[in-house]
Amino acid sequence: MLKRRNVLAGLAATALAGGALLAGTPLAQAQDTVKIGVLHSLSGTMAISETTLKDTILFLIEEQNKKGGVLGKKLEAVVVDPASNWPLFAEKARELITQHKVAATFGCWTSVSRKSVLPVFKELNNILFYPVQYEGEESERNVFYTGAAPNQQAIPAVDYLMSKDGGEVKRWVLAGTDYVYPRTTNKILEAYLLAKGVAKEDIMINYTPFGHSDWQTIVSEIVKFGSGGKKTAVVSTINGDANVPFYKELGNKGVKATDIPVVAFSVGEEELAGLDTKDLVGHLAAWNYFQSVKNPANEEFIKKWQAFNKNPKRVTNDPMEAHVIGFAMWVKAVEKAGSFDVDKVIDALPGIEAPNLTGGTSKMLPNHHITKPVLIGEIRADGQFDVVWQTKDLVPGDAWTDFLDGSKDLEADWVGKKCGNFNMKTGKCG
């Protein structure tokens, strides 16, 4: 209610501003700062995940400015709210680039939001750092993918479950929300499992709508499928909001991780913070980072992050780490290029290395994906993960999977071939 007067005033101002807008008001530009766009939803359905990422970038910028900024200039964040509305993402991206003249943008969570802003970034030639695990099948000159590609999350997770430590799983439920990421991931996994000799009848695929809240039928179907006399596991690409009721149902039905383990690709510390995890102990998640990873870099990051938020309980998660890496890489690339110029930074980025928070050093590859370790964690009673397995080396992100007909011949190389979808068979770009 406190906004009443403002709104009325705003309405009046609207009419006036309309004219000004038509003239395309050039915004005053401060000389000694460089702007960074933050394109994460702060309202609507995705706010639940994306708000943290906005805070992460604000935190990173503050830290960088404490160190004196980049190339002697202070960084300044421009925060916009695309409100979980996909066309609005494109509109806000355009606003960030043309009106605020940002040097780079960190943003997006869902694939559709990335797809929505892609044409804008291409047209206006700017840089987007995309921090979330996704289905792959894309490599663009203007986008740097710091989240996991399917080969950096899904396939190692399945490998782990097939191993002795993972329980030698023979029967698979691929459960996901009905959208592109689970569909593609499950297609890839299905092809992979069949190639590994799993019989077709030992794979069950199930899709549910967004925000599905009544899991009774599906959980009992999973239990039924699990009574096939072979060790069964669930690979879950269930998205955000639907996870809480799913896990609650699992817990209440008494589906223990020692009977039917569930490995999830979208459940991290942030999601578990909204859940009572005592019945979920032992269920798994595959990520490239866990808050519980023990090493000095991570501990320092957590300490500073919690101090920045003035909340000693604030958790960290994998997409945040992706932003940390992406931001560090951008800073290094700018320093290497000696300029904020978009083309120079894009050319400088491949090959840049930055320490990740799990103790290794991630590298930006010519296909604009990065190298990451893959970690498997088991849920603990306190809402954190125990790392039970991890890859020995960092896994390079593969933009085009080898397990789908359409993309096995494609290769992305922005350094040598200057092409995101080079067809190795025809020897042509696209």
Partner 1 sequence: MGRLIRLLLLITSLAVGGFAVPHRAAAAPEDLAAGLALIAKDSFNDTLSGIDAIARSGVPHAAALVEALQDRRMLIDTANQKVFYREPAGTVREAQSNEVVASPPAGLTAVRLNNRVRGAASAAIGALSLMNPDPQRRIQAAQAVMKSRDPTALAVLDAALAAEKLPNVKAELQLAWAAVTFSKSDAPLDKRLEAVALLKDARSREAVSILRSLPADAAAPLRESTTSAISSIEQRLALWGYVQNVWYGVSLGSVLLIAAIGLAITFGVMGVINMAHGEMVMLGAYTTFVVQEFCRTSAPWLFDYSLVAAIPLAFLVAGGVGVAIERGVIRHLYGRPLETLLATWGISLILQQAVRTAFGPTNREVGTPQFMSGAMEIGGLVITWNRLYIVIFAGLIFVGLLLALRYTSLGLHMRAVTQNRRMASSMGIRTGRVDALTFGLGSGIAGLAGVALSQIDNVSPNLGQSYIIDSFLVVVFGGVGNLWGTLIGALSIGMANKLLEPYAGAVLGKILLLVAIIVFIQKRPRGLFALKGRAVEA
Partner 2 sequence: MITRALLENDRTGKWFLAIVLGLAIVVPILHLAVPPSSPFHVSTATLALLGKYLCFALLALSLDLVWGYCGILSLGHGAFFALGGYAMGMYLMRQIGTRGVYAHPVLPDFMVFLNWKELPWFWYGFENAWFAFLMVMAVPGLLAFVFGWFAFRSRVTGVYLSIITQALTYALLLAFFRNDMGFGGNNGLTDFKDILGFPVQANTTRAALFAASALALALGYLAARAIVASRLGKVLVCIRDAESRTRFIGYRVEHYKTFVFTVSAVMAGIAGALYVPQVGIINPSEFNPANSIEVVIWVAVGGRGTLAGAALGAVLVNFAKTTFTTGFLAPYWLFALGALFVITTIWLPKGILGKFNDLWERWRSSRVAKPEQKPAPVPQLAE
Binding residues vs partner 2 (CB under 8 A): 1, 3-4, 6-8, 10-11, 14, 17-18, 21-24, 26, 42-43, 78-83, 85-88, 90-92, 94-95, 98-99, 110-112, 115-116, 118-120, 123, 137-138, 178-180, 183-184, 187, 207, 209-210, 404-407, 410, 420-421, 423, 430
249 near partner 1, rule: CB under 8 A: yes
Binding region for partner 1 (CB under 8 A) out of 63-71, 110-118, 121-129, 227-235: 227-235
86 near partner 1, rule: CB under 8 A: no
CA 185/CA 188 separation, integer angstroms? 5
Bridge partner list, 203: 172
Residues 367-386 that bind partner 1 (CB under 8 A): 378, 380-381, 383, 386
- Eight-state DSSP code of residue 20: H
Report, in Å, the least distance between residue 324 CB and partner 1: 19
Binding track over 190-209 against partner 1, x by CB under 8 A: ----------------xxxx
CA 129/CA 145 separation, integer angstroms? 6
Structure tokens at 111: 């694939």
276 near partner 1, rule: CB under 8 A: yes
Bridge partner list, 232: 171
Q: List CB contacts of 25: < 8 A, sequence separation 6 or more.
A: none
251 near partner 1, rule: CB under 8 A: yes
Structure tokens at 386: 């125990």
Report, in Å, the least distance between residue 165 CB and partner 1: 6
User: In the complex with partner 2, which residue's Cβ is closer, 105 or 291?
Assistant: 105
- Eight-state DSSP code of residue 28: P
306 near partner 1, rule: CB under 8 A: no
CA 86/CA 66 separation, integer angstroms? 34
Report, in Å, the least distance between residue 52 CB and partner 2: 13
- CA 91 to each of CA 19, 51, 88: distance values in angstroms, whole numbers, following the listed order: 20, 19, 5
- CA 358 to each of CA 269, 287, 380, 389: distance values in angstroms, whole numbers, following the listed order: 15, 11, 19, 13
271 near partner 1, rule: CB under 8 A: yes
Strand ordering across the sheet containing 284-287:
203-208, 171-177, 232-237, 262-264, 284-287, 375-379, 385-390
Report, in Å, the least distance between residue 218 CB and partner 2: 16
Question: In the block, which residue shows the tokens 């690409």?
Answer: 237
Report, in Å, the least distance between residue 258 CB and partner 1: 4
Bridge partner list, 207: 176
Q: Among 257, 325, 329, 333, which residue interacts with partner 1 (rule: CB under 8 A)?
A: 257
Report, in Å, the least distance between residue 26 CB and partner 1: 31
Structure tokens at 281: 């102990």
Which does residue 213 touch among partner 1, partner 2, none (CB within 5 to 8 A, set by kind)?
partner 1
Which does residue 58 touch among partner 2, partner 1, none (CB within 5 to 8 A, set by kind)?
none
Structure tokens at 7: 């709104």
Report, in Å, the least distance between residue 4 CB and partner 1: 11
Judge residue 295's burial from the number of C-beta atoms within 10 Å of its C-beta, 0-12 exposed, 13-18 middle, 19 or more buried: middle
6 near partner 1, rule: CB under 8 A: no
User: In the complex with partner 2, which residue's Cβ is closer, 180 or 275?
Assistant: 180
